[in-house]
Structure 1
């Protein structure tokens, strides 16, 4: 397996394992393309120009409108817990574009794996991880879950095995209150394990933005597993995720 490649983009650090130098260069380009189109910190980006009123959304490239449509679809599917609109009405697609970049990076790494998509690789970007294959031999890729109140303590380990290849964590411990909540804070951190990274990333944000009822509704179809850390110190876990978490007293609250 190739070594570790890291680079900064989208305000975070991307780490690649199992990428050849050529594939790593392609992955950089994937992230740079998304950042150039959707960053609200770059005044020349398409989305910044929309926010400034210089361009109408209807006049943007079709790929931008497609991403916005995807975000609106997730708003509907999460009952509004996830939204592509800031409180001031500005369109902000950061809730989906990082995951889309990771998804596309995975496609690049698959294509570089002798064309059969069976290579072993990991893409990690700001709390979101997508993998294929194994870390070494038959050992699955493992991702640690950090205690949101004690950032030097790992309270859980998620083992990623097909089809559950993606994990995303959203919370307030590192970046503060950057998530647009629609309810009084119930959760301070959520880790979602799913088959695809977009689902994992969006639902991690939606859980933190919502409340306990949102958590139950979003996990009702058993399509994902969730570890959610409550503002009151309670750790919530779906049945499939309970084995991944460790607490001092061994207690978790089940999501039913």
Structure 2
């Protein structure tokens, strides 16, 4: 549920061959571009590869699919060790690392709150839940209520009703896995975008770094705020301006603070993060978004995370970017 950044391959006709496929996935859309593809790679083969990878990711970590591996884990009422795939364990472990780094601002056990506020698979009309319901959901939240085991892979819940939600990592995981599949086929120049999670390598069809547009965080409108250039890495954008509901003149975002049990209520409108790993970039963007316009940039600067913050103010937008992000900005 991240905000889509716009992928740009450059203006005019491409100088080199370019394959492109798009389609629906994870409740949003994907776009994959391959410049200078291997001679044997065809558009239909590319589409089949991407679809197979994304379908497998959904089968592992989706909360919208009741038959997925994660849904079965969530439905397990025990507090015993539950065997899981290495792939699911890796995503959960990444979430736990980001939780530690962010002091709990990021928490994959936030699912009960996401559902309570109407932003999960148990969809309900946007209404503000009462304090008692929020307090009850908060009892089931806390990344310290999970234990992980590497060999053999397993997860143990401290309470049987713990509900893990990996949507803040899912698009990044999808982008990372598609990128790996492309590289296994000999692809060296590509852009994989799943909503706001993007993984790129090499150069576009003009032989230049991939140009990616950060959206202006304005509800109901799509426009480019800033272009960045990147030739190897991942980036992800998280924001409060696409998925929300309004009640009593107040807007309630899908970005839930695991500490308060309520949607974020600060001035930070969006965060874009660059990282070597797409799953980590996805989670870090959400963590920094929840932390807000003061704590988010402070953590990103301290950890040397390339991050770009757009803060909403009465007069418009104010930008804060870390020193590590500067090299990606197009003049």
Pairwise same-fold verdict (TM > 0.5):
yes
Quick check: 1:37 aligned with 2:37?
A: no
Quick check: 1:230 aligned with 2:311?
A: yes
Checking the alignment, whether the CA contact within 8 Å between 1:192 and 1:225 is kept in structure 2 is yes
Quick check: 1:179 aligned with 2:255?
A: yes
| Residue 24 of structure 2: aligned partner | 8
Unaligned runs of 5+ in 1: 247-256
RMSD: 2.4
Match of 1:67 among 91, 94, 99: 91
Written as runs of structure 1 = structure 2, the 5 A alignment for 1:1-256 is 1-18=17-34, 20=41, 21-53=44-76, 58-63=81-86, 64-86=88-110, 87=113, 88=137, 89=140, 90-113=163-186, 119-149=188-218, 151-162=221-232, 165-176=233-244, 177-181=253-257, 182=259, 184-211=265-292, 212-222=294-304, 224-232=305-313, 233-241=317-325, 244=329
Task: Give the TM-score of the pair, scaled to structure 1.
Answer: 0.83
Q: CA deviation at 1:100?
A: 1.8
Task: Give the TM-score of the pair, scaled to structure 2.
Answer: 0.66
Distance 1:198 1:154 in 2: 24
Higher RCO, 1 or 2 (CA under 8 Å, sep at least 6)? 2
Tell which structure's C-alpha radius of gyration is larger.
2
Distance 1:245 1:81 in 2: 31
Aligned length: 239
Checking the alignment, whether the CA contact within 8 Å between 1:186 and 1:210 is kept in structure 2 is no
Distance 2:321 2:76 in 1: 43
Distance 1:207 1:189 in 2: 9
2:223 aligns to what SS in structure 1? Answer: strand
Greater shift in the superposed pair: 203-212 or 62-71: 62-71
Distance 2:50 2:243 in 1: 25
Q: CA deviation at 1:185?
A: 2.0
Query: CA offsets per residue over residues 20-59 of structure 1, 9 Å max, x none?
Result: 3324312211111111222111222222233334676732
Greater shift in the superposed pair: 75-84 or 236-245: 236-245
Checking the alignment, whether the CA contact within 8 Å between 1:187 and 1:229 is kept in structure 2 is yes
